[in-house]
Structure 1
Amino acid sequence: MRNKDIVAVDLFCGVGGLTYGLQSAGVSVKLGVDIDPNCAHPIEKNTNAKFLQADVASLDPQVLKNVLGSGGVTLIAGCAPCQPFSTYSRAAKQRHGNEAGTNKSEDWRLVEHFGNLIRAAQPDLVTMENVPPLAQQEVFKNFLKSLEGYWVDWKVIECQMIGLPQTRKRLVLVASKLGPIRIPDYALPVRTVRSTIGDLPAISAGGVDSEDRLHRASRLSDKNLERIKSSVPGGTWRDWPDHLRSSCHVKESGATFPSVYGRMEWDAAAPTITTQCFGYGNGRFGHPVQDRAISLREAAMLQGFPRDYSFIPEGEPVSFAKVGRLIGNAVPVTLGAVIGDLLITHVSQQLG
């Protein structure tokens, strides 16, 4: 009987959210591939996968075939960057005019390169995670064509329904050569901000925990400190006295962005964690009760990473911009685990 173990490669692996989640479900991820050298440490420190710094657009398919071998069920997984279709890019277009967020970046072509690698390597299983607006784009239709010979299912998943303490929506696709495959409807209990980060030590704006250097919060100006003190969980800048409002708030265009300078709510899911989540003014990223933005560690935990996940080597200075980008761009670990469970169950059903 064929070996039912799933052997995988994670393309566009980032800091390993998908790799870690798949491995926690029992998938053997052998290799993570990313063009960013900053991803080497988190992949090799926290997971059992090796890291390959490479541009997926020019990656030789034979590299994947060699890693996947022929002993088990093979999987190619990945989350190709699609910045032009992201909510953040589309919001930038609204704020700054048609020039922002509209250039056809090489990023979206990475979906095509992903499809080309699948055609060449022909794994037994495929999974892709991405931004929901991708489903309306021609590049996604072409990607589906690259899966000829596979049973395919895809849907947009509300991540709080799978146990992630975050209102993130993601397009998830699974494909199999083994037989029909389906993504179920999930309705798990919603995890809250309180249950996820409520037991971390209190810190101040600009402060850092003595035991965890990633549990640090960005500084606040005097005015922003006054603003967050006037903010209520789940509220908006409209709760502030007039003298704290900036000019953009009184313009009609400011009405489109009521959640900037907002606090999270203890007993609800967090908003979508972005690459700028460490900044109080960048969204509803204020701590529910402490007068500061969430820390880098809190952001990571809201993305499903364990409390001790290592993002940068010991001794390397902590950069909010760098680590925030790595965390915000990550596939949530919880989503990776759910996908892993789905694939393992599917293989067991198909191969007996």
Structure 2
Amino acid sequence: MGSKDSAEKPITVLDLFAGCGGLTEGFHQFRPAGADVPAFRSVGAVEWEPAAAASYAMNFGAGSERPQHYDPPEIICRDIVSWQPKWGRGEVDVVVGGPPCQGFSGLNRLKVRAGRNELWQEFIRVVVVLQPKVFVIENVDRFVRSVEFNDLKDRIGSGDLTNYKLVEAPGAEVSDTDWQRARRYLLNAADYGARQARRRAIVIAVRTDVEPLPDQMRYPEPTHSRHSLSESKLSGLDLPLDHLPWSTVDALFSETARLTLESTELPADRSTTIEGIPGKFAGPFATTELHITRKPEAISRARYKAVPPGGNRKDLRGRFLCRTDGGAEMIIEKVGSFRNEDGILELLGAHKIVENGFTTSRRVSVRSYEVEQAKETGKSGRSKSEAFRIVLREGETTGGATLEYLSTRAWDDHDAGAGDVMGRIRNGHPSVTIRTEFFKPEKGRYLHPLENRPITHYEAAMLQGFPKNFLWCGSKTEIAKQIGNAVPVPLAMKIAESVFAYLRPSGPSAHAGIATDAVLGGQP
């Protein structure tokens, strides 16, 4: 294990449920100190969604034009159920992956649901067959509250996983309750250099019947902290910092402010086919080509304008889109109460004009109104806004106008929960979790910090840590799903660093470096 020859061999990795390759990208970017080639070699990747498998192939497969240091991995695009790996016992050093999270919950702890999470069982099946030295499970935060996690803990050290041991959760204390110990498996990507505060369950297990000793495996140490971010803003103070401040979104949005944003579509007349992956795919597109916008409805555009920096749906309360008969358009906010005891909107009286999300001293008043039929705010017609025909007065001028309410009854009635809906990403902080529908502000805090638009696919991919030369295949929706489902690359790289330090204890220092070609603009 400690010989010169073995230390120079790359550590072999199999990626299950690989997606577009966020984990693989992080493992490939990792460099031991002084090394100019990756410490890890991907031997295989299993992914059932063809567009995601195509993206993986364009970056890591035989036809990839990105720098390749080892033979490319075998890319298996199929359902993992009944798939039989071609490698023998012990031929793969590390198995990584994130079994799809649908169905994980804290309910029904008395038994493992055989149907809902069959794919979870398939991950374990492959581990049992291949007997890797290390396996890494990445999943949503609720995984640590699930029946499946309890099942894993019960099987580790007995049954089909008798020769495996869970690595101690980082920071675990003897006095921890079961829930406290489970929560310690949650790693925040921002603590490892990502520009995104994304908590993921990272569960690592090692074999106990091969070298090195299982107790030598450690979770990655955080390199950044929220506390240091706060301290770094206190000018004039010489504060000792154990960690770097959290990386923020500021540099990225400063960069994209200088980019042209006009197209709503990916570059046309570009498609590809890949041997072994069924279908024909749009692309490939470099990350830099994903800076595309949307065509939101007028009511959506007004909502964006009404939300101030750092704000969210709560800032829409009492605010209306006002269109005068003379063609002017403005946002106004009711002065005082905007709903009566019966929950009916109150329009009569003074309103303040809103600019850049903030109320101004300029006022108008509604003299009379009548309810119009609710206006459809989406192509499906399922979402409607409350609309009114009014008489509007400003100074000595009186005229007709139409109002559309920018909030909703549900948003008005609920202070708790969904606080990020229609929210702006905050400058000076990491972003929130980038999910698969980041292009829809009604799904979370995905409005640009200052501009009146959602973040773009390019911005989302960069917040996930993907390099600018990463290649993507599929439709806009398919690529968004690949971006949102990926493991943040900086977190993946730190996991790789810990695995390397465990499997190559006598090798080069395991302080992570990153490949120059991999991070072209990865952190502007």
| TM bucket, shorter chain | 0.7 to 0.9
Residue 109 of structure 1: how far off its partner (Å): 2.5
Letter paired with 2:12: V
Distance in 2 between residues matched to 1:160 and 1:194, nearest whole Å: 14
Q: What is the correspondence of 1:223-234 to structure 2 with a 5 Å cutoff?
A: 223-234=299-310
The SS at the match of 1:175 is: strand
Structure 1 stretch displaced more, 240-249 or 215-224: 240-249
Q: Which stretch shows the higher mean deviation, 262-271 or 170-179? A: 170-179
Matched, 1:288 2:324: no
Matches within 5 A, 1:249-268: 249-252=411-414, 255-268=416-429
Q: What secondary structure does 2:88 align onto?
A: helix
Name the CA distance, whole Å, in 1 between partners of 2:197 and 2:120. Answer: 25
Output the TM-score relative to the length of structure 2. 0.58
**CA 1:117/1:184 → structure 2, altered by over 3 Å: closer, same or farther?**
same
> Of residues 3, 6, 11 in structure 2, which corresponds to 1:3?
6
2:476 to 320, 323, 340: 320
Which structure has more strand as a fraction of its residues? 2
TM-score by length of 1: 0.84
Matched, 1:13 2:169: no
Give the one of 60, 79, 83 matched to 2:84: 60
Is 1:191 equivalent to 2:239 in the alignment?
no
Does the alignment pair 1:331 with 2:487?
yes
Same amino acid, percent of matched pairs: 26
Matching residue of 1:97: none
Structure 2 counterpart of 1:77: 96
Quickly say closer, same or farther: Cα 1:203–1:290, change in 2 above 3 A.
Answer: farther
Residues 80 and 107 in structure 1, CA contact (< 8 A), matched pair in contact too: no
- 2:507 corresponds to 1:345: no
1:194-233 matches, within 5 Å, as 194-200=250-256, 201-203=258-260, 207=264, 212-233=288-309
- 1-side partners of 2:114 and 2:259: how far apart? 41
Paired residue for 2:137, among 128, 135, 149? 128
Instruction: Please name the residue that 1:152 is paired with.
Output: 166
Partner residue, 2:56: 43
Counterpart residue number, 1:163: 193
Instruction: Report if aligned partners of 1:206, 1:219 keep a CA contact under 8 Å in 2.
Output: no
Deviation at 1:106, TM superposition (A): 4.9
In the alignment, the residues of structure 2 paired with residue 7 and residue 334 of structure 1 have an alpha-carbon distance, to the nearest angstrom, of 20
Cα shift at 1:152:
2.1
**Is the CA contact (8 Å cut-off) linking 1:44 and 1:50 kept in structure 2?**
no
- The structural deviation recorded for 1:206 is 6.3
1:313-343 C-alpha deviation (Å, 9 max, x unpaired): xxx6xx3322111111112211211111111
Corresponding position: 1:137 with 2:146? yes
Q: Secondary structure at the match of 1:85?
A: coil
Task: Provide closer, same or farther for how the CA distance between residues 170 and 108 of structure 1 changes in structure 2, counting only shifts above 3 A.
Answer: same
- Cα displacement string for residues 119-159 of structure 1 (whole angstroms, at most 9, x for unaligned residues): 12111111111112212222122224254322322421011
The C-alpha deviation readout for 1:274-311, integer Å capped at 9, x for no partner, is: 11101122111001122110001111111111122111
Q: Contact between 2:97 and 2:138, CA under 8 Å: does it hold in 1?
A: yes
My pick for the range that moved more, 261-270 or 232-241, is 232-241
Q: Mean Cα displacement is larger for which, 152-161 or 15-24?
A: 152-161
Q: CA deviation at 1:37?
A: 1.2
Q: Which residue of 2 aligns with 1:101?
A: none
Distance 1:184 1:20, change over 3 A: closer
Q: Describe the superposition over 1:65-110 as per-residue Cα deviations: whole angstroms up to 9, x where unpaired.
A: 39x74xxx71111111112238xxx9xxxxxxxxxxxxx7956232
Match of 2:290, SS?
strand
Say if 1:37 and 1:30 are closer, same or farther in 2 by CA, change over 3 A: same
Report the secondary structure of 1:14's partner residue.
coil
Aligned residues: 325
The secondary structure found in structure 2 opposite 1:262 is coil
Distance 2:44 2:21 in 1: 10
Work out the CA distance in 1 between the residues paired with 2:52 and 2:482.
8
Instruction: Say which structure is richer in helix.
Output: 1
* Partner SS, residue 256 of structure 1: coil
Secondary structure class of the residue paired with 1:270: coil
What is the rounded CA distance, in whole Å, between the counterparts of 2:128 and 2:205 in structure 1?
13
Matches of 2:465 and 2:425 in 1, distance apart? Answer: 17
What SS does structure 2 have at the residue aligned with 1:129?
strand
Q: Is the contact made by 2:220 and 2:495 (CA closer than 8 Å) also made in structure 1?
A: no
**Deviation (angstroms), 1:350:** 6.8
Q: Over alpha carbons, which structure has the higher Rg?
A: 2
AA of the residue aligned to 2:77: Q
- After superposition, give the CA deviation of every residue in 1:208-257 in whole Å (9 maximum; x if it has no partner): 698943111222111111111121222122223432212321233x6422
Closer/same/farther in 2, CA of residues 208 and 290 from structure 1, 3 Å limit? farther
Return the alpha-carbon distance in structure 2 between the equivalents of residues 184 and 15 of structure 1: 24
8 A contact 2:15–2:96 mirrored in 1: yes
Counterpart Cα distance in 2 of 1:286 and 1:320 = 18
After superposition, the C-alpha distances for 1:170-202 in whole angstroms (9 at most, x for unaligned) are: 111222233221214414231111133431244
In structure 2, runs of 5+ residues without a counterpart are 31-38, 61-71, 107-112, 170-184, 225-244, 268-285, 321-405, 509-524
Q: Any gaps of 5 or more consecutive residues in structure 1?
A: 91-103
Change (3 A) 1:164 1:106: farther
CA-based RMSD? 2.6
User: 2:408: which partner in 1?
Assistant: 246
